[in-house]
Amino acid sequence: MKLTSYLIFNGQAEEAANFYADVLGGKIENLYRYDSMPAESGMPEIPDDFKQKVMHCCIIFPGGSMSAADTLPSDSRNFGNGGHMLTLACDSIAQTEEIYAKLCVGAQKIQCELSEAFFAKRYGEVLDRFGILWALMYEEA
């Protein structure tokens, strides 16, 4: 069994996917745009200015993957009031500090400064520029 995060954006999925691929040292695979979706009865009409938005993409990085898409304008979404968090277990203090620094660029809020905690050598929380809350942790084995 494997759990994967799927983040839904309101038109920023491609920008977010590129950002996360860079932050996590990964790459984007299987990027499909709405204009590639075959027309089927019962499906909502795709506005012309939305046809190049991301219908689905996968971000592959060392140790995992996540997916992202843009929702149609008629179904706007938000990430709620802090009821979610992506937790990233890093491999070293240096990696934790590097990823934390990248996520902090343009961040909406630093929830918890990266520092040593009673349960980890490094722990921090960042609400990134897309409204995604990340927890970064390094636990020495």
Q: Which strands, in side-by-side order, build the sheet including 54-61?
A: 5-9, 64-70, 54-61, 27-33
Q: Would the CA dihedral through 47, 52, 53, 58 be positive or negative?
A: positive
Do residues 13 and 65 both lie within one domain?
A: yes
pLDDT tens, residue by residue, 58-107: 999 999 999 999 998 888 887 776 778 999 999 999 999 999 999 999 99
Minimal CA–CA distance to 74: which of 130, 129, 17, 11? 11
12-30 average pLDDT score: 97
* Cβ–Cβ < 8 Å for 122, 116: yes
* Domain with 26 in it: 5-70
Give the pLDDT score at 11: 93
Give the pLDDT score at 140: 84
Do residues 63 and 91 both lie within one domain?
A: no
Classify 125 as helix, strand or coil. strand
pTM exceeds 0.75 for this model:
yes
Question: Is residue 19 pLDDT above 90, yes or no?
Answer: yes
Count of structural domains, the chain: 2
Q: 77 in a domain, yes or no?
A: no
**Beta carbons within 10 angstroms of residue 105's beta carbon:** 11
Q: 75 in a domain, yes or no?
A: no
Question: Is residue 28 pLDDT above 90, yes or no?
Answer: yes
Q: 59 in a domain, yes or no?
A: yes
Question: Is residue 42 pLDDT above 80, yes or no?
Answer: no
Q: 40 in a domain, yes or no?
A: yes
Q: 18 in a domain, yes or no?
A: yes
Q: 76 in a domain, yes or no?
A: no
Q: 105 in a domain, yes or no?
A: yes
Give the pLDDT score at 116: 95
- Whichever domain contains 66, its CATH number is 3.30.720.100
* Per-residue burial over 72-96, b = 16 or more CB atoms within 10 Å of its CB, e = otherwise: beeeeeebeeeeeeeebebeeeebb
Question: Is residue 1 pLDDT above 80, yes or no?
Answer: no
Encoded tokens for 88 = 């990233």
Q: 20 in a domain, yes or no?
A: yes
